[in-house]
Amino acid sequence: MKYRRLVWVLVLVLAGAAGLVAGAATAEGLPDFTRLARENSPAVVNISTTQKVKRRLPPGFEMPDLPEDSPWGDLLRKFFGDGDGMPEQFGAQSLGSGFIVEPDGYIVTNYHVVRDAEEIIVRLQDRRELKAEVVGKDERSDIALLKVEAKNLPVVRIGRSADLEVGEWVMAIGSPFGFDHSVSVGVVSAMGRSLPSESYVPFIQTDVAINPGNSGGPLFNLDGEVVGINSQIYSRTGGFMGLSFAIPIDVAMDVVRQLKTKGRVERGMLGILIQDVNRDLAESFGMDRPRGAVVLKVLPDTPAEKAGFKVGDVVVEYDGRPIERSADLPLLVGRTPVGRKVKVKVIRQGRRKTLTVRVGELREDVEQAAAGGGGDTARSGRLGLEVEELSEAQRRRLNLKDQGVLVRRVHRGPAAEAGIRRGDVILMLDGKPVRSVRQFRKLVEGLPAGRSVPVLVQRGNSPMFLALRLPKDEED
């Protein structure tokens, strides 16, 4: 009995020792962020701004007719103005983060942190508060460069976001909800993420906890180098939900250099509107798999028009780099030096073609253009829709000259299954421009059964390709 008890004691001791060893090994396998936080926090700053906001009466309300000595009149005018006149403006505080990149006071943050700011105050870790001026800002990349009057400030070390790998540990320092120098850690979840309305930033996705106030703060790798700028979160609640996005430092520092030297950012431009290629569109274009960026529109007087781009071209390679998704193309074009000649490979009507284009400079008027019935009618039983000629007023409003027919009604059939809607304007069918209802009817009659064909429609001011498939067993 005594011997058995001794054996159990020995087993428990050995088990405990093994647990300690395993625990030590596990702890030893995790990175230690204490040194990184200690060494880099002095170069991270808190940014607060005073902004102007306008208060107006809600729609349909008017200022009541109150006596001149009524205190309510002053109160209402203070918050909502005088009705028809310009309302008063009030200061609003916003908080964000930033980091020092040069010892003489240059600070990088997000554009949206300092947007419309009347006054910018930078608070250092030693609690000094300095007034900052905007050297330059770029809305497209969400980057701003600030300057404070100070010397010998601590600075961060700049790394290379191109060297980041999915699964790599990263650390953020910032001021979430105003809590200065808060540290949060996680891993890189994905690289090169494209977000809606963000065409020029291949975001780093992480699971690092980012909240309001972290914007503009640095994202560090384990070597203590800044590899990103924390910029956005995906959330249904307004708080962190496991998805945060950072601007790659390679992109950010290119913007910073241009802001410092030129005060603005120069970006390359081709002059085309593009769309992603899905499985049905790939089949309709005769491609073996979905890839590339299909050209929806070639803007006039642009490098793309001069190089011979055509609507329906599928861009599959730009300057030697493959284009897998449409979001890949603006990122590459935007970073191409203006004036440089590049070769672009496209698939046109099932055949490969190489175009040479001299990259132009992105202009506001081109970007706005990119954002941007009566007469004869016909009913197509094959497609299940009714179309009519566009009136002159409709053509002017949609900026269409001699192309397109208006979809008046959609019935059950291939058109509805393809996603065509009432009010769409059909511009091309199976690679051929649609110029009239009569011609459209002939094009429909010649469509092959049993395979997908591309149809280009304009919905509002936005063109898009849809894949239209006629059934094999259709009846005439």
Domain spans in the chain, listed from the N-terminal domain onward: 41-60+69-148, 157-262, 268-368, 373-469
What would the CATH number be for the domain defined by 373-469?
2.30.42.10
pLDDT one-digit tens code per residue, 162-194: 999 999 999 999 999 889 999 999 999 999 888
Residues 6+ apart with CB under 8 A from 424: 406, 407, 457, 458, 459
Distance (Å, rounded) from C-alpha 214 to C-alpha 186?
A: 15
Contact between residue 320 and residue 336 where contact means Cβ atoms under 8 Å apart: no
* pLDDT given for residue 234 in this prediction: 79
Consecutive H or E run containing 297: strand 293-298
Q: What is the mean pLDDT of the chain?
A: 82
- What's the gap between Cα 41 and its chain centre? 29
Contact (Cβ atoms closer than 8 angstroms) between residue 466 and residue 420: yes
Given this model, what pLDDT does residue 460 score? 81
Beta-carbon contacts of residue 173 (< 8 Å; ≥ 6 apart): 37, 40, 41, 44, 97, 181, 182, 183, 217, 218, 220
Length of the chain: 476
Rounded Cα distance between 321 and 175, Å, is 39
Fold match between domain 41-60+69-148 and domain 373-469:
no
pTM of the model: 0.69
Which single residue is written with the structure tokens 């081109």? Answer: 366
DSSP string for 248-283 = EHHHHHHHHHHHHHHSS---EE--EEEEE--HHHHH
Tell me, what's the pLDDT at 292? 93
With vertex at residue 443, the alpha carbon angle to CA 442 and CA 448, rounded to the nearest 5 degrees, is 120
Q: Per residue of the chain (476 residues), what is the pLDDT tens digit? A: 555 555 554 545 454 544 544 444 344 568 899 999 999 999 999 999 987 655 555 555 555 555 555 555 554 555 555 544 455 455 657 789 999 999 999 999 999 999 888 899 999 999 999 999 999 999 889 999 999 999 999 999 999 999 999 999 999 999 998 899 999 999 999 998 887 666 688 999 999 999 989 999 999 999 999 999 999 887 766 667 888 999 999 999 999 999 999 888 999 999 998 888 988 888 888 888 999 999 988 988 999 999 999 999 999 999 999 999 888 898 899 989 999 999 999 999 889 999 999 999 987 655 544 444 444 445 556 788 888 888 887 888 888 888 888 988 888 788 888 889 888 899 989 888 898 888 888 888 888 887 788 899 988 878 888 888 887 755 43
Q: Helices (H), strands (E): how many in the chain?
A: 12, 28
d(CA 422, CA 386): 9
Architecture of domain 157-262: Beta Barrel (2.40)
Q: Is the dihedral of CA 359, 360, 364, 369 positive or negative?
A: negative
Annotated catalytic residues are: 112, 142, 215
Per-residue model confidence (pLDDT) at position 2: 53
Structure tokens at 133: 């001026």
Q: How wide is the angle at C-alpha 201 spanned by C-alphas 195 and 203, nearest 5°?
A: 65
268-368: CATH topology? Pdz3 Domain (2.30.42)
CATH architecture designation of domain 41-60+69-148: Beta Barrel (2.40)
Q: What is the share, in percent, of the chain residues with pLDDT greater than 90?
A: 45
- Closest listed residue to residue 271, CA positions, set 222, 334, 325: 334
Question: For 116, left (φ over 0), alpha (ψ -120 to 50), or beta?
Answer: left
